[in-house]
Structure formats: C-alpha cells, structure tokens
Amino acid sequence: MRTFRIGTLAISMMLLLITGAEAKLRVVATLTEIGALAEEIGGDRVEVARLAKGNEDPHTLPAKPSHSRRMMEADLLVYNGLQLEVGWLPLLIEGARNPRIRPGTVGHLDLSSFIEPLEVPTGSVDRSMGDVHPEGNPHYTVDPSVYPALAKGLAERLSAIDPEGGPHYAARLADFERRWSEKLAEWRSRLAFLQGEPIVTYHKQWEYFARTFGLRVIDNVESKPGIPPTPRHITDLEARIRAENVRRLVHSDLIDPAIMKKLASRSGSLAIALPQAVDSRDGTGDLFSWFETLVSVLESAREED
C-alpha cells in the first residue's frame, strides 16, 4: 500500500508539472525582435516561438512544417504588419486552422497598429515600383523609440487573453519601460554626433532609425525597393555621395557587402554593416543587446572617419 501511495503521489506531481507547463500562453512571433519583446513582457507566463530567424529576410520567409505546428498550437499571433509578411503569413494562418489566431480575434495582434507609419504612398501602387508597401514603410522595429508603445499594446493583449496574469504583465511592462527609457536616453546621447548627417542606405530599411537619431537618408543603393541597382543608378549615386559629402553607407547583414564596399571605395565614404534584427549576429540575442550593438557599431565607425 505504501508503494502504491508513493507511486500515486509521483504521478500526481508529474501531472501538476505538465499542467503548469501547458498553462503557459503560447505566443508565435513572426520576427525575432517581436519575439524578444513578448519574452520581456510575458516572462515565465509565456512560451514564445519565433518564425523568422534573425538572419532571414522577413519579406520572403519560406514556410516550414515547424511553422505550421507552432501556428496550430498558438494562443496569440504577434506580427509586424504593414504587409511585411504578406507573402507567407496569410498562408500559414489559413493552413493552421486555428480559430484563436484568425484576424479579428483577440489572439491576432498586428503591432503596426501602435505606430504611425512613414512613407505611406499617396497614389496607386504596382509591382513596377518595386517592393513598395501600400500601407507604408514596414521596417519600424529598428526604431527604439517605438518600443514603449509596442510593449504597452502587447501587455494589454496578453492581459485580455490571460486576465489572471494581468498584474504580472503590468509589472513587467513598467520594469521594461523604466529600463528602456534609461537606455534610449543613453543611446541618443552616444549618437548625438550623427545629428544632421546625410547617409545612404542599401534598402529602405533604416528610415525609422534615422528619424530617431537625427540622420538624413538622402538616397538608397537600390534604385527601387527590392530591385538591384542599375549601373546608371550607381554612377549617379556615386556622384551624389561626393557632392553631398556623405561619409556613411549603411546596409544590413543580409546584404552582400561587396557592392557597398566598392561604392564606398570609389566615393571616399565608409560602408557600415548593421545587424538587422535580434539574433542576426553574435551578441544580439535580446532587444537591449541588439540596439546596444547597433549603437556601438556606429560609434566605432566614428573613429574610422
């Protein structure tokens, strides 16, 4: 009888552990930085799966069986929006057949609803214009100033799905906002030397970052978004870089650096590779370390001027 009781107790404890594990809110984030934010706000009450890796292009993410499994199990889908994931996310949502994360439900969260998008086209948009997004530039997650609003919106949605965890999410939100505010002030101070600086970027990816830190994006290496530059565009761009004394050419880790280094060498400027997302290179595993790396890379480039 004693052995039976011990066995029963052990089984009961195992069931409690399993139940506790299943009680976690299952969050699927399309991007690594969105997943990192969900981890900051959710803490140990959430289990976060990230669909895209930090070194993958979120415009053209290939759908995988593992993505479908995660979507099927999700309680909350959090995504970038502004049609960044339009080529693959709707297909995953449809294939998952998960009513909890369908559009219009509490488990479907478009983070772009908490920001004011830049570069919203005023006229019609077609493929001849390149990868132009009709709802505006989707690359707002590179801007540290938007994260308090994103975090607040995410905390409210987590609380709506998990009311018992409301105080937990509110406390983690307050702690995140405090720490983020301190770091944002520091990052702005460290990059104050860039105020008013003209830069050229490869893709229209850094406009939000430039706005927050006072940089001026005067042109892009891509003649149209998502379309490789023509030789004529490169020649014209080189002349403009020289004429406007552009000292920094910025691109993400996704871009082959050869074209940027060649353009920099010919125009007397400096090519700077920046980590495009959380976990896109070593030492960028969370939001704070990612932005710290972004700032540090630009600081180091100052010494090379």
- Asked if residue 240 and residue 224 are part of one domain, the reply reads yes
Q: Which pLDDT score, from 0 to 100, does residue 221 have?
A: 95
Q: How far apart are the first and last CA of the chain?
A: 80
User: Which structural domain, as residue segments, surrounds residue 199?
Assistant: 192-274
Q: What is the C-alpha to C-alpha distance for residues 115 and 153, in angstroms, rounded to an integer?
A: 10
What is the predicted pLDDT for the residue at 252? 96
Q: Judge if 41 and 81 occupy the same domain.
A: yes
CB atoms within 10 A of CB 32: 27
pLDDT at residue number 4:
40
Any domain includes 288 = no
Residues 51, 181 within the same domain:
yes
Q: What is the pLDDT of residue 65?
A: 85
Q: Which of 140, 157, 186 is the last residue of a domain?
A: 186
pLDDT at position 5: 46
Residue 92's pLDDT is 95
**What is the distance between the alpha carbons of residues 66 and 292, in angstroms, rounded to a whole number?**
31
Q: Which pLDDT score is estimated for 302?
A: 79
54 within a domain of the structure (yes/no) = yes
**Residue 240 domain-assigned (yes or no):** yes
Q: How far apart are CA 6 and CA 144, in angstroms?
A: 54
Distance of alpha carbon 71 from alpha carbon 49, whole angstroms: 9
Dig out the tokens for 97 from the structure: 């057949």
Treating both helix axes as pointing N-terminal to C-terminal, what angle do 166-190 and 32-42 enclose, rounded to 10 degrees? 130
Residue 302, domain member (yes or no) = no
Helices (H), the chain: 2-22, 32-42, 65-73, 89-96, 147-161, 166-190, 207-213, 231-243, 257-267, 287-303
What single DSSP character describes residue 227?
B
List, in order, residues 6 or more apart from 179 with CB less than 8 Å away: 288
Handedness of CA 58, 196, 135, 181 (dihedral sign): positive
Of 157, 136, 25, 156, give the one whose Cα is nearest residue 81: 136
CATH number at residue 56: 3.40.50.1980
Residues 181 and 220 in one domain: no
Is 287 inside a domain boundary? Answer: no
Q: How far apart are CA 74 and CA 19, in angstroms?
A: 16
Tens-digit pLDDT string for the chain (305 aa): 444 444 444 544 444 444 444 589 999 999 999 999 999 999 999 999 999 999 999 999 988 888 989 999 999 999 999 999 999 999 999 999 999 999 999 999 999 999 999 999 887 665 555 566 789 999 999 999 999 999 999 999 999 999 999 999 999 999 999 999 999 999 999 999 999 999 999 999 999 999 999 999 999 999 888 888 999 999 999 999 999 999 999 999 999 899 999 999 999 999 999 999 999 999 999 999 999 999 999 999 876 65
Same domain flag for 77 and 181: yes
Helix axes 287-303, 32-42, angle to 10 degrees: 130
Domain match, 123 and 210 both: no
Cβ atoms of 43 and 70 within 8 Å: the answer is no
Q: 181 and 223 share a domain?
A: no
Please give the tally of structural domains in the chain: 2
Do 146 and 206 share a domain, yes or no?
no
Nearest alpha carbon to residue 291 among 112, 146, 85: 146
Is there a single domain that holds both residue 95 and residue 158?
A: yes
Q: Is 200 domain-assigned?
A: yes
Query: Would you say residue 295 lies in a domain?
Result: no
**The last residue of a domain, from among 129, 155, 186:** 186
User: How many CB atoms sit inside 10 A of residue 133's CB?
Assistant: 21
Listed residues 186, 212, 233: the one ending a domain: 186
* 204 in the same domain as 59: no
Counts for the chain of helices (H) and strands (E), in that order: 10, 8
Residue 261 and residue 182 share a domain: no
* One domain, residues 92 and 221: no
| Domain assignment present for 299 | no
